[in-house]
Structure 1
Amino acid sequence: MHEEMIGLTIAGLGVLGLSCQWLAWRMKLPAILLLLMAGLIIGPATGLFNPNILFGDLLFPLISLSVAVILFEGSLTLNFDEIKNVRRNVKSIVTVGAIITWMITSAATHYLLDFSWSLALLFGSMTVVTGPTVIVPLLRTVRPQAKLANILRWEGILIDPIGAIFVVIVYEFIVSSSTVHSLEVFGLMLLVGLVIGGVAGWLLAHVLRRHLLPEYLQPFAVLALVLGVFAGSNALESEAGLLAVTVMGMWLANAKGVNIQHILHFKENLTILLISGLFLILASRIQVADFHALGWGALTLFAVIQLVSRPVSIFVSTMFSQLEVKEKLFLAWVAPRGIVAAAISALFALKLSKDGVEGADLLVPLTFMVIIGTVVLQSLTARPMAKLLGVAEPSPKGFLVVGANDVARNIALALQKYDCRVVLTDSNWDYIRSARMAGLETYYGNAVSSHADEYLDVIGIGHLLAITPDKHFNAVAAMHFESDFGSRNVFRLNGRRHNSGLEKHSASQAHNGAALFGEDISYKKLASLINQGGEIKHTKLSDNFTLEDYYAQYKSSQLIPMFAVDPKGYIYTYTVNDEFVVKAGWTIVSLIKEVKAQEDAKTDA
């Protein structure tokens, strides 16, 4: 292949991956689905792209290193303090449930497809993982009850590294020549992975804590160390690298006094690139003949995975939980497979094929069949299933507040009084810490980042309030969440508009949300009133105290109406064009700075 064609092909993969990611965002679908379809089109369907020819001997190392980075990024989210608060049934699902899924799937693979027990056990271990890259987009569309959404979300986060380690362990037992040797290899792999991963994690945490690296070098240093740890561990003991990078990431995630947010943001961007590239490459390697070779037994196996192994694992692992039967049925239906299953299947299929293991080349098409089947089926049916079972979230009335500054915290505390979920997001740690000390739920990070797209839990939330001093960022946040909450439920602080006539300097008004509390209400104005003693007050109207009486009472005060709460507890937000009528029984929430006392003092003087 000519150098020009190589460069053009790689650039084309990037553009195609970006297009799939963007379309998935617009259509509210898991990106993996469109990436798989695109890979199948450019590969087996048209023959436009052959990764074996393009990458040659580099294909196997590239897949290995990509999986290592993806697993490391996933392990960076495993904070032990958060895991302690996860419900017991989540822990049961990722342990007892995973083992049950593995056993049933392995047995079905052996008997239905006539796979050897070793290959069947390996395939069973590959298909226990779900992953946040497929679960989170699905949950945003389905919107099940918060309890079920949290269970599925945490299962996806925890099962990725656990499942990867599980696959490595099964693989080591397969390639070993005897049981004793298998135990020796297994023990050595654990020793190398735990020691090197732990030492690397401790060393990196020490360097970051002591600020021995400038901030701009930290993401690059972490990436270099991850690749070095992975390759070095594999050199000492084959396949110990995946365990090592997972342990390293978990150590760093739980290190005290280490801020890993900027590292995590870098890794999430890199992970999106790797996921897009991997799915296109792996899907394009599949041959149509491979699917024909699987036969009808593969479809029967998929039915067993969807209708038998997952339900049995859920009902057994949650046997002693407080979950209702309808909740267990929903959890039993939703378990889409993702990137780790695809990447690891390709990784170990290559290894086993090189070792001459018969049937290893069928692992990849079989895994992709499960991925495509679960993503398509569950994307189409999860929402109707949730409604049928009565576990769909009712119209969400919670608020996502972009900003955790003084103004945002005061508004969030006022909203919390009405039994709705309120989450504040900010990249300023001091603001986040103050919000947490006030008892508010927070997300530390940029609300419009790709990390937030995966890990920001918006279950129960149906409104956005962008309350930062930067009105341009408020507009960006409003546009970002318009597809999630709808244009009628997205609000942002705007600030005073200047009649400069230069529209090119202003954000478009079509998709950046309604002006919160009015066009001329800016962050500066709200902050000034609060700093001068203004308070957010709640006043209930009645037949004897009407809205007119309310305005008359505060005629001499500075008053900014913010929200109106109807008798059923639904919260309406004041904007320029209010489309609701406040009546008796409603509650008005306003920022009020009373000035009457000051005027009386001046009169007496």
Structure 2
Amino acid sequence: MSEHLMLTIAAITLIGGACQWLAWRLRLPAIVFLLLTGIVIGPVTGWFDPDALLGPLLFPFVSLSVAVILFEGSLTLKFSEIRGIETVVRRFVTSGTLVTWSVTTIAARLIADLSWELATLFGAFMVVTGPTVIVPMLRTVRPTANIANILRWEGIIIDPIGALLAVLVFEFVVSAGAGDALGATVLAFISVIAVGTASGLAAGYALGEALRRDWLPTYLYNTITLAAVFCSFSVSNAFIEESGLLAVTVMGIYLGNRRGVPIDEILSFKESLSLLLITVLFILLAARLDLDHLQQMGWIVVGVFLAIQFIARPLEVLYCTWGSSLTWQERSLLAWIAPRGIVAAAVSALFAIKLEQRNFEQAELLVPLTFVVIIGTVVLQSLTSGWIARRLGVSEPAAAGFLILGANPLGRAMAKALEQQKVRVLLCDTLWDNVSRARMAGLKAYYGNPLSAHAENYLDLSGLGHLLAVTPDAHMNALACSRFKDMFGVKNVYSLRVGSSTGTSRRDTRREGRTAFSDEITYVDLSRRIYRGAEVRKTNLSETFSMAQFHAVHGERATPLFAVDPKGRIEVFAAETELEPAANWSIIALIDADSNSAKADGNGTSRAQAPATSATGDATT
């Protein structure tokens, strides 16, 4: 028996990993493959029965998994971001949720014939979207920046807000369903909020103090944080049942907004554990679906899905964008894209179990109804949003921007030069000092590991189509090229060699991306020249000043980095290709400082007279 149990658990994790890999390869939300897999191995074939496998551990496992997911989501919810975002986004995550909630509640009541209590709870489930489904879809659809920013921030912020709404509605439904008087119901409702809030604040304060005052070694951050989440959830539930989810949500919001707490270190614990929990949880919950209930509801579930897709979302978008500068095409695409994700699935399954334990009629219908909406929105919108965006004229053209891995002085100099060509550039670095200097220079920069799950949701790649890895870590450069070559295309991924001792074979180089600039040029060499005063400058070519003359003028003191064709397109000099810039092209090169004093530029004039642009370090001269 124990051997069978271990084999089943191992098989589920392996199948889940395969689903995640397939989603990565096809650039689709993993939720589609996880849910379909769970349905196939569960109710369709009967191979996997979560209740038989976990028995009494099923409910605690689902509860703790949801607690971890909600904590991670609330940890990223910062008040400063809510205050600073556009009015449209602020409406989407506040009053706009009431529109979706109300319409969905009415649809569930009138179409699915759920009681008003369960219809109201189902409506609360449906207000969330989530970055785990939005971000992969945006990368495929590639809408304009306005649409991408609205959808991305809506998905990030609405997760903890929607989960908190579902928790509070559930508590009200349970209290009212117990047959208590109104006063007792309100008292129970207030008790849950008070205990959950107090427990979350206490746990957040204690953990925050431990992290701020360095009472914990770095290697224990993840372990202690996870233990604190479990304790806050369990202790709060011990005082007042069902207040645990509110506690971990409040705990995450508190830590995410407290100064001095190393949030990035805390978030790292989510990189493997949270992804594993989401993977297993989706398969487990999908395997518990009762197809008989779906057949019993028949086309009713389709009617609820259509009401959410074609009535609730368009009305919400109409309200949230009222008076904004968005075009009707942008509003139309916003009205089409709103896939539901992990929070809707996990919270609906959790509350359905609790309601069934309390003998609520129709509670067993919540999960299949929710999963039909999830699968319907994800599949329909993933397959059609790209075509709709192109038809409406709100999809971005071929992405020409650059993601520069390495916000060091070399990366900042190249970023400044590219921005002067009206090219979107995003710097990325794991060192805060580099990111801080880049931002002070007016450059956009992401602080964190571009390979992390956090970057998967928060690294804004809209408008970017090239990767240029220029860090002093050859291993990081290679991993980044491997990560982004499927997204940008292998021809648009470049890596600068670090030093002469880190050279790779041509075969390895092709696998890891193209060799930036040339085989002889290294990060160490260029960084030293930047330190000595070299500048990144633009030189215009003409009929009288060719590329050969450029080399004759500057010699070895100049290293061509980019070529700009007459249409403004940027080409990167690489070891694998030979660029042949002609007249009316421009060359962006790193030129040593001592070569500028006596040399002439492409128009035969001195540097002081030349219309050349320089961008060294953080300054523009």
Aligned to 2:21: 22
> Is 1:55 equivalent to 2:58 in the alignment?
no
CA contact (8 A) 2:495 2:514 kept: yes
C-alpha distance in 1, partners of 2:171/2:501?
A: 68
Does the 8 A contact of 2:77 with 2:256 survive in 1?
yes
Contact 1:73/1:268 (CA < 8 Å) preserved in 2?
A: no
Return the alpha-carbon distance in structure 2 between the equivalents of residues 35 and 18 of structure 1: 9
Q: Which residue of 2 aligns with 1:45?
A: 44
Match of 1:419 in 2: 422
Question: Aligned to 1:250, which of 248, 253, 259?
Answer: 253
CA contact (8 A) 2:429 2:446 kept: yes
What TM-score do you get using the length of structure 1 for normalisation? 0.95
Are residue 329 (structure 1) and residue 328 (structure 2) matched? no
1:393, CA displacement in angstroms?
0.9
In the alignment, what sits opposite 2:465? 462
Measured after TM superposition, the shift of residue 206 of structure 1 is: 1.4
What are the Cα deviations for residues 152-182 of structure 1, in whole angstroms up to 9, with x where unaligned? 0111111111111111111122111333223
| In the alignment, structure 1 residue 536 sits paired with structure 2 residue 536 | yes
Task: Provide the secondary structure at the position in 1 that maps to 2:220.
Answer: helix
Alpha-carbon distance between aligned partners in 2 of 1:352 and 1:257, rounded to the nearest angstrom: 41
Determine helix, strand or coil for the equivalent of 2:587. Answer: strand
2:488 corresponds to 1:489: no
Give the corresponding residue for 2:547. 547
What residue number does 1:31 align with? Answer: 30
Could you report, residue by residue, the CA deviation over 1:346-389 in whole angstroms, capped at 9, with x for unpaired residues?
11111111111111001001100000000100110010011011
TM-superposed deviation, 1:186: 2.1
Most deviating of 534-543 and 217-226: 534-543
Question: In the alignment, does 2:564 pair up with 1:561?
Answer: no
**Which is further off, 214-223 or 436-445?**
436-445
Q: Which amino acid aligns with 1:571?
A: I
Amino acid at match of 1:539: T
Give 1:540 deviation, angstroms: 1.7
Contact kept? 2:500, 2:522, Cα under 8 Å: no
Letter in 1 for 2:115: S
Q: Which amino acid aligns with 1:444?
A: Y
Deviations 1:165-216 (A, max 9, x none): 1111111221113332232222222212222212222221111111001111
What is the identity, as a one-letter code, of the residue corresponding to 1:14?
T
Q: Equivalent of 1:473, from 473, 476, 485?
A: 476
Greater displacement, 100-109 / 248-257: 248-257
Which aligned pairs between 1:397-416 and structure 2 lie closer than 5 A? Answer: 397-416=400-419
Deviations 1:415-455, CA, capped at 9 Å, x for gaps: 11122221111111221122122221111111112221222
SS of the residue corresponding to residue 113 of structure 1 reads coil
Distance in 1, Cα, partners of 2:12 & 2:188: 38
Aligned length: 595
The answer on whether the counterparts of 2:473 and 2:498 sit within 8 Å (CA) in structure 1 is no
Aligned partners of 2:65, 2:36: CA distance in 1, in Å?
Answer: 21
Aligned residue in 1 for 2:157: 158
- The aligned residue for residue 280 of structure 1 is 283
CA distance in 2, matches of 1:427, 1:594: 30
Task: Quote the residue 2:437 is aligned against.
Answer: 434
Aligned residue for 1:399, secondary structure, equals strand
**CA drift at 1:312:** 0.6
Distance 1:364 1:53 in 2: 19
**Mapped partners of 2:69, 2:306: distance in 1:** 29
When structure 1 is superposed on structure 2, of 460-469 and 286-295 the one drifting more is 286-295
Q: Is 1:293–2:296 an aligned residue pair?
A: yes
Contact kept, 8 Å, 2:407 with 2:427, in 1: the verdict is yes
> Which residue type is aligned with residue 5 of structure 2?
I
Give the SS at the match of 2:11. helix
| Cα 1:19–1:167 shift into 2, 3 Å | same
**1:59 to 1:564, Cα distance in 2 relative to 1, 3 A:** same
- The answer for the alignment partner of 2:67 in structure 1 is 68
Alpha-carbon deviation of 1:579? 5.5
Whether contact under 8 Å (2:70, 2:245) holds in the other structure is yes
| 1:22-421 correspondence runs (5 A) | 22-176=21-175, 177-421=180-424
Please, which of 455, 459, 477 is the counterpart of residue 452 of structure 1? 455
The whole-number CA distance in structure 2 between the counterparts of 1:10 and 1:178 is 46
Q: Distance in 2 between matches of 1:37 and 1:451?
A: 26
Q: 2:104·2:123 contact (CA, 8 Å) conserved in 1?
A: yes
Q: In structure 2, do the counterparts of structure 1 residues 373 and 532 end up closer, same or farther at CA, with 3 Å as the change threshold?
A: same
Residue identity matched to 1:513 = G
Q: Report SS of the residue matched to 1:151.
A: helix
- Distance apart, 1:457 and its partner CA: 1.1
Any conservation in 2 of the 1:496–1:519 contact (CA below 8 Å)? no
- Deviation (angstroms), 1:233: 1.2
Between the aligned residues of both structures, percent identity stands at 49
In structure 1, the residue matched to 2:616 is none
Q: Answer whether contact 1:565 1:588 (CA < 8 A) is retained.
A: yes
- For 1:476, give the aligned amino acid: L
Q: Which amino acid aligns with 2:224?
A: A
Deviation at 1:509, TM superposition (A): 3.1
- Aligned partner letter, 1:482: K
**Per-residue deviation, 1:596:** 5.1
Per the alignment, residue 607 of structure 2 pairs with: none
Give the Cα separation in 1 of the matches to 2:190 and 2:596.
77
Residue aligned with 1:158, SS: helix
Query: Matches of 1:451 and 1:418 in 2, distance apart?
Result: 30
Which SS does the other structure have where 2:111 is aligned? helix
The question of whether the paired residues in 2 share the 8 Å contact of 1:39 and 1:280 is answered with yes
Aligned to 2:6: 7
1:253-301 Cα deviation digits (max 9, x unpaired): 1221222212212123211010001001000001221210111111111
Separation (CA, whole Å) in 1 of partners of 2:460 and 2:199: 34
Whole-angstrom CA distance in 2 between matches of 1:344 and 1:577: 51
Cα distance in 2, alignment partners of residues 409 and 476 from structure 1: 21
1:603 maps to: none
CA contact (8 A) 1:496 1:520 kept: no
TM-score by length of 2: 0.93
Report the Cα offset of residue 19 of structure 1.
0.8
Whole-Å separation in 2 of the counterparts to 1:499 and 1:279:
43
Is there any run of 5+ residues in structure 1 with no aligned partner, and where? 601-605
- Give yes or no for contact 2:564–2:570 (8 Å, CA) kept in 1: yes
- Give CA-to-partner distance per residue, 1:522-581, whole Å, 9 cap, x none: 1101111111211111112233333233222213x5111001112332211111244654
For 1:487 and 1:102, locate their aligned partners in 2 and report how far apart those are by CA, in whole Å: 44
Structure-2 separation of matches of 1:397 and 1:293: 51
How many angstroms apart in 2 are the aligned matches of 1:239 and 1:412?
A: 51
Preserved contact between residue 340 and residue 373 of structure 2 (Cα < 8 Å): yes
One-letter code of the match for 1:31? A
Contact 1:497-1:519 within 8 A present in 2 as well: no
Say if 1:74 and 1:507 are closer, same or farther in 2 by CA, change over 3 A: farther
Structure 2: distance between partners of 1:276 and 1:178: 42
Give the aligned CA root-mean-square deviation in angstroms. Answer: 1.9
